[in-house]
Amino acid sequence: MPKISNLVPQPLKAPPPRPGDENGKATALDHAKEAGVTVVDWVDERTSLSGGVRWLLFRKVPKGTNWFYTLGSATMFAFLNQAVTGVFLAMYYRPDVNGGAYESVRYITNDVFLGQFVRGMHKWGASVMVVLVYLHMGRTFFFGAYKYPRELNWVIGVVLLILTMVMGFTGYLLPFDQKAYWATIVGVNINGTGPLLGPYLSDFLRGGPEFTATTLSRFYAIHMLLIPGAIIALIGAHLYLVAKLGTTAPPWLKAEEEPDLRKVTV
C-alpha cells in the first residue's frame, strides 16, 4: 500500500544555487556562460529534439570499426561542399545560350571576388564526390554490408550513385563552351542508344528532337533543383537506416561464440 504522503504532490525543491559573485548575484559573465545551455534547453523543452539527436549520434559501433567507415561521411561532406559552392555560383550564372551562359561563367572566373576559387571548389569537388562515392560503395561491398538486413540501404545507395553521376553530366554542359556543348551531344546520344527507354530519355534531356535553348534550361533545372532535392531526401533515408540498423562489423572479425548454457561446468 503506497503511503498517502507519496501520492500528494510535493512542493518543488528549491533549484541549486546559481554561480555568482560573493553576494550570490549572477555576473554578466555567468549569464553569458549559461546562454548556450539556456537556448538549447528552451528549444528542447518545446520540441524534445534532444531524444532524436541522442538516438542518431550516440551509439555503440562494432569492434574493428576503422577509417574505411568514414568514406560515407566524407561523401556527404563533398555533397555539402557542392551545395554551398553551387548556391554562390547560381547567384551569377545565367542559363542563356546566346553567349550569356559562357559570359557569366567567364565573369565568375575573372571578375567576381573569390569567384575562381569557388568555381574551382565546385568543379574539383564534383570529381572528389564521384571518387568518394565509389570508394564508399567498394567499402560496403567488400565488408558485405549489402546483405540482410541492409539490402534496402544498398538499393538507396545505388540510386544515390546514379544521381551523383547525373549531377556530373548535367553540370558539364553549364559553362557552355565548345567542350561542354559537344561532350553533352555525345552523352545525350549515348543515352539514346539504351534499349526501349533510350530514345525517350534523350528526347527528354534535349527537351525535344533538337538541341536548343530549352536543353540548357532543362539541364540547369535538373542540376540545381531536381537532383539535389532527391539526393538530400535519399541521404536522409540512407542515414536513418544506418542509425536504425547500425553498421556492419568488418568481415575478418569472427562472431563471438554463444556460451553453451546446457554445458555443466564444475
Contact residues toward ligand HEM (CB under 6 A) are 69, 71-73, 75-76, 79, 133, 136-137, 140, 143, 145-146, 150, 153-154, 157-158, 160-161, 164, 231, 235, 238-239, 242, 247-248
Rounded-to-integer distance, Cα 24 and Cα 142, Å: 62
Q: Which three cell numbers stand for residue 73?
A: 561521411
In this complex, which beta carbon is closest to ligand HEM, that of residue 12 or of residue 57?
Answer: 57
* CB distance 81 to 125 below 8 Å: yes
Residue identified by cell 549572477 is 26
Closest residue by beta carbon to ligand HEM: 157
> Which CB sits closer to ligand HEM, 69 or 102?
69
Angle at the Cα of 126 from the Cα atoms of 165 and 86, rounded to 5 degrees: 110
Cβ–Cβ < 8 Å for 122, 80? no
CB 97 within 8 A of CB 219: no
Residue 172: CB minimum distance to ligand HEM, A = 18
DSSP string, 167-235: HHHHHHHTT-SHHHHHHHHHHHHHHHTSSTTHHHHHHHHHTSSS--HHHHHHHHHIIIIIHHHHHHHHH
The least CB distance from residue 90 to ligand HEM, in Å, is: 20
Other C-beta atoms closer than 10 Å to the C-beta of 265 total 4
Q: Shortest distance, CB of residue 21 to ligand HEM, whole angstroms?
A: 47
**Minimum distance from residue 191 beta carbon to ligand HEM (Å):** 20
Q: How far apart are CA 76 and CA 85, in angstroms?
A: 14
For ligand HEM, the closer CB: 143 or 176: 143
Q: With respect to ligand HEM, which residue has the nearer C-beta, 95 or 157?
A: 157
